[in-house]
Amino acid sequence: MSNNIVWHNHKVTREERAAPKKQHPCLLWFTGLSGSGKSTIANALDVALYQRGYHTFLLDGDNVRHGLNRDLGFSDEDRVENIRRIGEVSKLFADAGLIVLSAFISPFTSDRRMVRSLLPDGEFIEVFMDTPIKTCEDRDPKGLYKKARAGQIKDFTGIDSPYEAPEHPEVILDTSSQTIEECVEQLLEYLIERKLILERQD
């Protein structure tokens, strides 16, 4: 970083940006194997929050690799940089007062810890999609496990690249035994309990 760069403080604080939205900014970080349900649950929660009048933004792994991270591959080094960039973007959205939902395999504990360190205490919510790999592989929605098993894809998480499961996630979900509705309800209850959103009036 250049020595000529100076941080510029904004006149409007993140709390002031969030206040009209009647929500507390936070980042729900969905992590888990490919096919574990990260994007499905994040999208369903996004809809549920939107329908309740909350202001959110969803960042999805594949979508981001079409633009911001289109120059990155899937080596360990590129995975680290992928998560670093997403962490910084997620922080900016949270600073804007939004509830951010980020769905990324993010296989390394150190990377998720780095993103957590970017946000104030209590605003990083690690959502571990603890769906068994057999279920993920049976689903194989993108056909990636089949290609990985055939050696057509290298560095595939869960096959020839490791996934470091969270030790103390805020929320644990398993889409092999929970429905989409049950997962969303569990997440909403967590957000309400932590006073990140208001108690529902319906």
pLDDT digits (tens, 9 = 90+) for 81-137: 989 999 999 999 999 999 999 999 999 999 999 999 999 999 999 999 999 999 999
Contacts 24+ apart (CB under 8 A), 178-181: 180/37, 180/40, 180/41, 180/44, 181/44
* Bridge partner residues of 7 (DSSP): none
pTM (predicted TM-score): 0.89
Q: With a cut of 50, say whether residue 165 has pLDDT above it.
A: yes
Tell me how many degrees the CA angle 58-61-66 measures, rounded to the nearest 5: 100
Q: What is the pLDDT of residue 7?
A: 64
How many angstroms from the chain centroid is the CA of residue 202?
27
169 C-beta neighbours (distance < 10 Å), count: 18
Q: Could you tell me the two tokens for 76?
A: 């360990």
110 is an active site residue: no
Please provide residue 4's backbone torsions phi and psi, each rounded to the nearest 5 degrees. Answer: -90, 5
Lowest mean pLDDT among 12-16, 34-38, 85-89: 12-16
Q: What is the pLDDT of residue 154?
A: 86
- Alpha-carbon distance of 107 to 158, in angstroms, equals 9
What span, in angstroms and rounded, lies between the C-alpha atoms of 12 and 131? 41
pLDDT at 3: 67
What pLDDT does residue 199 have? Answer: 73
Q: How far is CA 79 from CA 22, 41, 66, 127, in A?
A: 35, 22, 15, 19
Q: Using an 8 Å Cβ cutoff, are 35 and 140 in contact?
A: yes
Q: Annotated catalytic residue: which of 34, 90, 106, 161?
A: 106
Question: Which residues lie below 8 Å from residue 163, measured CB to CB, with a gap of 6+?
Answer: 32, 33, 105, 107, 157
